[in-house]
Structure 1
Amino acid sequence: MHGLRAHIGSFTSAGGRGVVTAAVGPGTGALTALQATDAVADPSFLTVDPVRGLLYAVSETDPGAAAAFRLTDEGVEPAGPAVPVAGVHPTHLALAAGHLVTANYGSGSVSTLSLGADGLPTGDVAVLRHEGSGPDAGRQEGPHAHWVGADPTGRWLLSVDLGTDSVRVCRVTGDGAAVHGETPLRAGSGPRHLAFHPRGHRAYVVNELAPTVTVLAWDADRGELTPLDEVRALPEDAEGPAYASGIVAAADGRFLYTALRGHDSVSVLALDDTGSALTLEANVPCGGDWPRDLALHPQGTHLYVANERSGDVTCFALDEATGVPLRTGALPVPAASCVVFA
């Protein structure tokens, strides 16, 4: 039985090698490259079904697509051809209610792909088109769905839209996703990604254009989000532009981590016992250029940052008491875009 593997997405159109697989060193968290496949173009985001032994990737292209891969000892192998998602430039995907769902940034839509008993996409797809815009004419001229994911109960699908400054809560059925409710966030904030508190009662949205983190109460019984607070993700004296990207929550509920492009840093935000109050604990260099996404080691011991423009994934050991990352190494991955584990 092989050890833990990291699967790294990258942009083939910018010199990336597609889906890159690396071994994760026990204890050290160090990454060692094993395999790469460019079977799908621009696999910018990945997700894993560990039960079926499958990895899914978006193809962030126009038109967009999604593909399934089988997990192997050394990496992944294509499980079938990529299938259209009936949307443009899908940036994120997730499993929800027995379906594969993509957020299509370019077309401002969410696609629900049917899966067969083997977990492979059947080719059937239903599309939910977002409506609306925001005050930033350059980035918010229309809807731009950027993230999708199931809530911790698995009963609801949430979609984050940078263009409409809102989060939609949906139900997923055989007919696709249907909007149950929409929660507006601050106009012009540009929400990008979402992470849940490990207890499932709070959600945290990182806002790309702000850059801030919005704290929301989550009522899974009613399928309702309620904004509680918005906290700056950078020190007040930080200079230059900063565009927030990914956000992850520590499994013990003590810290949030978010990456900031332009400023090229990672911020650590401490959570109080309720998960409602955030305090900026630290801000450290990301170890590269343009950190597009970040991920926590399954054991919570290390943090990994995919630096798109410098073409590497940096590894950080996390201080157990303070949560502050300490850079321990990097793996060259041209045009790196995300990291998942299996």
Structure 2
Amino acid sequence: MSTTATIAVGSYSRSGSGRGSGLELLHLTQGDGTETGEGAALTVRRGPTVELPDPSFVLWSADGSLLYAVLETDPTRVVAVRVAPDGSTAELVADLALEGSGGCHLAPGRTAGTLLVADYGSGTVETVRLDADGVPVELIDVDHHRDLGEDGTPHPHQVSALPGTDSLAVPDLGLDRVFLYRQDAEGQMGLVGEIPLNRGSGPRHLAADHESEQLHISCELSGTIATAVRRPSEHEPGTPPVLRGSSHRWSVRSVIPGSRTEGENALSHLELTADESMLLVANRGPGTLSALSLTMMRPEITSEIAVGAHPRHFTQLGQLVLVAAQEGDRIDVLRRDGDELSVAADPIPAPSAACLAVRP
């Protein structure tokens, strides 16, 4: 018995020494090893490509018919690609220019029919309206982080819905804070709170458990993982009105290194495993992926494995972990067995791979 999954790969084509073509589809087939009595074999078939400048993050629509990508351009652009059910064709159906620059992440909005975009370059968060077919058609809101801090240059790096709440979280690498938003019925974003981190942390990405009782934050500049916990809010006198809409407050409970390796480490992406017992973290200093147990009061590294240079992003496919190694020009294929990581197959060549997404 074998299973096939389609993986979207976004690769840098212009930034720095970008060597990729833009978007590419890969079809991964994994056997269960029952016919040979050996471990599961993995075969890769390359699908269509779409030439685009510097897609920095990719996202599938809920039904898997459309692939969205944000382009790290000036201005930022959001594109949509329609993919055939069998993955044999990919057609660009929308290319929408926004107001911000340096787009680095996009996510579904809380309000149906919207996409949210984080612009690293301009320090903005933008809201895009989708039509009835899910195609991006209009920019409807722009929130500027430059008005939220006296020190530092704003660099929002991700937008993420917090499960079990009505909030959205935006880690800002330049302002050392995670900003909390709500989205109204019209799709407009409103600030309702924030989580302050130590100066120089550089929060990049975050991962919350299914009720957002714990929030794990990868801090790129300090090479650490900050874990914040959520409690009912008790607003103190003098709290700005804009922040009084939050029903919870957050406090950082622990800060630990993302790697056992000495030296500088610029953390990138992190994710929880499906059962939320483990946290996976990519380390761009030593070029490793760490697995951390969450059974103790604070995360604890149980396994760390070498991958290609500059692991910028990764995604999970069952027990497999696929790691986009941007400067290694490859996708590492790992397996997670409990709290241990191992190599599952040879790396897949992928020039300047920056981001990955498994088709639903």
TM over 0.5: yes
Q: Is the 8 A contact 2:80 2:93 kept in 1?
A: yes
Assess if the C-alpha contact under 8 Å between 2:267 and 2:281 holds in 1: yes
1:76 Cα deviation after fit? 5.6
Give the number of aligned pairs: 328
Q: CA deviation at 1:29?
A: 7.4
Counterpart residue number, 1:108: 123
Compared CA separation, residues 341 and 31, structure 1 to 2 (3 A): farther
**Residue 282 (str. 1) matches residue 303 (str. 2):** yes
Query: Percent identity, aligned pairs only?
Result: 27
| Cα-to-partner distance string for 1:189-219 (whole Å, 9 max, x where unaligned) | 1000011124532111000011111111246
What is the rounded CA distance, in whole Å, between the counterparts of 2:41 and 2:208 in structure 1?
A: 24
- The residue number in structure 1 matching 2:358 is 341
Answer with 223-232 or 255-264: which moved more.
223-232
- Selected match of 1:296 from 289, 298, 316: 316
Matched, 1:82 2:116: no
2:327 paired residue number: 309
Q: Rg larger in 1 or in 2?
A: 2
Alignment partners' CA distance in 2, 1:37 and 1:87: 26
Q: Residue in 2 aligned with 1:9?
A: 10
Change (3 A) 1:23 1:215: same
Q: Which residue of 2 aligns with 1:266?
A: 289
Q: Aligned-pair distance for 1:18?
A: 1.1
Q: Which residue of the other structure, out of 23, 27, 36, is the alignment partner of 1:19? A: 23
Distance 1:338 1:284 in 2: 19
In structure 2, relative to structure 1, the CA distance for the partners of 1:29 and 1:21 (3 Å cut) is farther
State how far apart, in whole Å, the 2-side matches of 1:71 and 1:29 are. 26
> Structure 1 residue 59: deviation in Å?
0.6
In the alignment, the residues of structure 1 paired with residue 88 and residue 253 of structure 2 have an alpha-carbon distance, to the nearest angstrom, of: 42
Q: Residue 50 of structure 1: CA displacement?
A: 2.6
CA–CA distance in 2 between the matches of 1:204 and 1:59? 26
Query: Which residue in the other structure is 2:235 paired with?
Result: none
Candidates 111, 115, 126, aligned match of 2:141: 126
1:17 Cα deviation after fit: 1.8
Task: Report if aligned partners of 1:156, 1:170 keep a CA contact under 8 Å in 2.
Answer: yes
CA contact (8 A) 1:197 1:203 kept: yes
Compute the TM-score of the two structures, normalised by the length of structure 2: 0.85
Report the counterpart of residue 324 of structure 1 in structure 2.
Answer: 341
> RMSD of the TM alignment (CA)?
2.2
The match for 2:82 among 70, 83, 89 is 70
In structure 2, the gaps of 5 or more residues are 33-39, 233-245
TM, length-normalised to structure 1: 0.89
CA drift at 1:58? 0.3
Is it true that 1:150 corresponds to 2:161 in the alignment?
A: yes
Aligned partner of 1:138 in structure 2 is none
Aligned partners of 2:267, 2:100: CA distance in 1, in Å?
Answer: 24
Residues 18 and 36, structure 1, Cα contact 8 Å, conserved in 2: no
The alpha-carbon distance between structure 1 residues 223 and 127, as it changes in their structure 2 partners (threshold 3 A), is farther
How far does the alpha carbon of each residue in 1:21-63 deviate from its partner, in whole angstroms, 9 at most, with x for none? 1112234473614224234321111111232622110011111
Secondary structure, aligned partner of 1:145? coil
Contact (CA 8 Å) 1:291, 1:308: kept in 2 or not?
yes
Runs (5+) with no aligned partner, structure 1 = 136-140
The one-letter amino acid of 2:303's match is A
